[in-house]
Every structure is written in C-alpha cells, then in structure tokens.
Amino acid sequence: MSWQELPRTVHHAVGELLQGQIIEATSQASGYSPGSADRVRSESGHRAFVKAVSRKRNAFTYDLHRREIAVLQTLPDSVSAPRLIGTSEDADWVALVLEDVEGSHPGPAPTESDVSAVLSALASLPAIRDAQGTARYPAARAELAPAFEGWTNIRRESQMEALPPWARSHIDELEALAGDGVGVLDGDQLLHMDLRIDNVLIDASGEARIVDWPWASVGAGWFDGLTFLLDARLNGSSVDMDAVLATHSFFADATAHDIDAVLSGMAAYFFDWARRPAPPNMPTLRSFQRVQGEAALDWLSQRLY
C-alpha cells in the first residue's frame, strides 16, 4: 500500500506526532507486509518511518503490528534499533511511527563488512532473563517448536511430493535433526527471530540497525546470526558462511550439530508453510518461503555431505 491509500485519520495522527502536516512520503517497497511502509517528512521538518495496515486487509498483520508496538515500548535502550515515536490505533487501522534511520539494506550481496556489522549489533543484544528466570518476551524454544515439526506434518499429510528429491530421500535424518533443533534454542539473550537482510539497515557510520521487532523472544543468541547468514547466502553473498560459523566468537556456543539441527528445523518450517494457500493480500509470501526452504536445505546438504 502507498501513503496516499491510508485514511485521513492515520495522516492526521502522524502529522500530530511530527508537529505538522505530512508534505512528503516515499514508499519503501521491499519486504512482505500487506500494509504500507513510508519515509515521511512533516512541514515542520520532522522525519519518521511509518508503517500501517488495516485489519480488513490482513487481520494477522494488524495483530502483528500491535504486537510490535508492545515490544518496542519495552525494548532495552541498548538495542541498536529505531525508536518508537508514537502510534495510531483504532478498530480497523494501526500505524507505527518510528525514528527514520538514514541507511540502506545490506547487499544486494552482503559483504564481509555487512556481516561483521550485523553480528556486532546482535552481540550487543542483552541477556533479559531476571534472577527468577523469567523474561518479558516468549521463549524461542516454545515459539519455534511447532514450526520445526514441518517434516513430520508433511509426511503425516502425505505431501512428500512437495519436497525436493534430496529431502524425500533423507526425510528420517531431517526429521530427527529438526527435533534436536528445538532443544538447542534455550538461552537468556534477546532475539529478533526474523533476521533477514531486509530487516537490517546499515547507516553512514557502518553500524547495523535492526528493524521490525514483532517476534522478539528470548533464547540462544546465535540463532539470529544464523538466520541472517542464511539470507545473505541466499542473496548471493560471497562470504564463506561456514568459516564465519567456525571462527566468529558470536557462534562459540553453537556446535556443528546445533547449526545443522536448526537449519533442518528452519527448512521444515519453510517447506511446510510454502505448500499452504497464500494469506490475504500477500501473494508472494509462499514463493518466498519455498526459496528460503530450498536455501536452508541446500546449505544443510552441503554441510552434511
């Protein structure tokens, strides 16, 4: 959606937050949300990044935006992420008004400096369990356990033809690995849980800023790093990702088996969901998930054989 398609109520609310009528809006077309995403400027000169969606257009994304608001309101100040300026919310529309970060996504093929910047930003994410072992965000293990059952779901529903030949011939091994993957996600660190190159901005100083936080969880910190490396690899990066896994201190707590198990779980999730009908107003999501599943499976097969 474009800024012009948003209702006057949203325009007015954003203008009030930015101390003047919005006179400039530039759409940000990347990503997979069915809502709007715009960099805006008010007549007073204040800038912001605004994303909004209607419940009627996609109820799941409406709820996801509301979940992100709750996360951003409690995100520790040390996190390298845009700050929430304010929100607009009614029974049909929800909008987030965020600090506008002057930066660009890594790529099109992330470089070594991009990878280093992202891992540095992730390393700064704090441990967030308190002395009693509780955290304000869900546990990654609980969040991903159903997702990692994808191989089991596909086999049980006799949908094996939806898988590439290699996956079909190694389904027992993949299923066992994914089961192990759930067990290695425990930890105390704040996680983004959806870290791809389109959820990272590199600013003029070379610092990585992490955006889009609805899935914030707590668990093993290296999980976010692995998801970013997978997406960078998929997008044509020439960086040796296995060397990064083997040598970078960020992954010191992850064994080779841990990495393989989580890659299998991620592939299971992507293939399982890619075979389902597309959600409302998100026609490209399933093809994206299929490509991600193929990338995870390709990397895993190279690591195992």
Q: Which token pair is 78? A: 């040390």
pLDDT of residue 131: 66
Lowest mean per-residue pLDDT among 27-41, 94-108, 184-198: 27-41
CATH 3.30.200.20 fits 3-98, yes or no: yes
- Report the share of the chain in percent with pLDDT over 70: 98
Res 31: pLDDT = 64
CA angle 277, 148, 64 (to 5 degrees): 55
Task: Give the pLDDT confidence of 210-244 residue by residue, as tens digits.
Answer: 999 999 999 999 999 999 999 999 999 999 999 99
- Looking at residue 30, its pLDDT comes to 65
So what's the pLDDT on residue 34? Answer: 85
Q: What is the pTM (predicted TM-score) of this model? A: 0.93
Q: Residue 59: its pLDDT value, please?
A: 94
Quick one: pLDDT at residue 129?
82
Residue 171 confidence (pLDDT) above 80: yes
pLDDT tens digits, one per residue of 269-294: 999 999 999 988 888 999 999 999 99
103-304: CATH number:
3.90.1200.10
Domain borders along the chain are 3-98, 103-304
